[in-house]
Amino acid sequence: MSETSAGPATLAEPPTEAGPPRGLAGIAWHWRNDPKRELWFAWYSMIIFYNIFVIVFFIMTHAQPPPHPDWSDAQVVSWFNGNHNGLLIGFGIVFAIAALTVPANALIAYSMRRMSVSRAFAYSYLVMYSLSAFPGMLLLCVVLSVAAMRPGRDPAQTHWLYDFAFLSYIGTMGIFLVGSLVWMLAILLDKNRVLPKWFGYLNLCNALTEVVVAPAWIFHRGVLDWNGLISWWINMVVFGVYTSAFMVLLRTMIRREDFGEGPLPDLPNTLKAKIAALAGAAQ
């Protein structure tokens, strides 16, 4: 996992004849000696969290895609009854692993610390996203668990909890919007080439999806409600592209990391480098 870099700050490498061992012993070696182990821990936490998130929200609880905002009390109660165990067990799992978002956010903030811009970007992003986890995800989990906990509750009350949960989840997008803009600005101003500029612009797209979701507060049916074709489905495609992009880019960043202060060196074997080499050889 540790890469040699061509840049001025090189990592301490084991002697070539010893080399990092392979297999289980290799994992142990990396755990003890790899200077990037915390970064990899953070990255794997992010991957594990998002995978569990998808399984819990989409498959176990059916909270995503969101059910309809214009259901009657009876339909809402029926949804809770149909998902009773899934909701309680699924969100129980989320409560247990929610802390995995912390190293994930730290890794993103780390990317900004490595940039040539002010540290304020990293710190403000960290604060924003740490605080946003509550209204942005945990509140939905708490409220839906509360509603599922007592199936005999008054249907009107259950419906109230249902509205509260989904609106809190959808409606608190403002923090994510500002957070995306902070990361965008940091990337665009950065001179250390930590993350590519196109990802900076993708942050803008992501921020705009938070605006597109805002009409969910107003509409109870149609394409702009919290379940709508535009507000949810198209938005999720954009969000999916964005999230996949940053997972891959952060992995590349960790591989390129040289713990210096200057521009991050490129990886030696990228396709871009190969094309450049071919172009150079052709001349």
Report the interface residues with other proteins, using CB under 8 A: 196-198, 200-202, 204-205, 208, 211-212, 215, 218-219, 222-224, 229-230, 234, 237-238, 241, 270-272, 275, 279, 282
Closest CB to other proteins among 27 and 188? Answer: 188
**Minimum CB distance to other proteins, residue 210 (Å):** 11
Closest CB to other proteins among 66 and 90? Answer: 66
Q: Position 235: which residue type?
A: N
User: What is the SS3 string spanning 212-267?
Assistant: HHHHHHCCCCCCCCCCCHHHHHHHHHHHHHHHHHHHHHHHHHHHHCCCCCCCCCCC
Q: Are 228 and 216 in contact (CB under 8 A)?
A: yes
Q: Are 232 and 66 in contact (CB under 8 A)?
A: yes
Closest CB to other proteins among 178 and 212? Answer: 212
**Minimum CB distance to other proteins, residue 259 (Å):** 25
Q: In the 8-state DSSP scheme, what is residue 217?
A: G
**Minimum CB distance to other proteins, residue 193 (Å):** 12
**Minimum CB distance to other proteins, residue 275 (Å):** 6
Q: Any residues with CB less than 8 A from the CB of 201 and at least 6 apart, and which?
A: 184
Q: In the 8-state DSSP scheme, what is residue 191?
A: S
Closest CB to other proteins among 24 and 282? Answer: 282
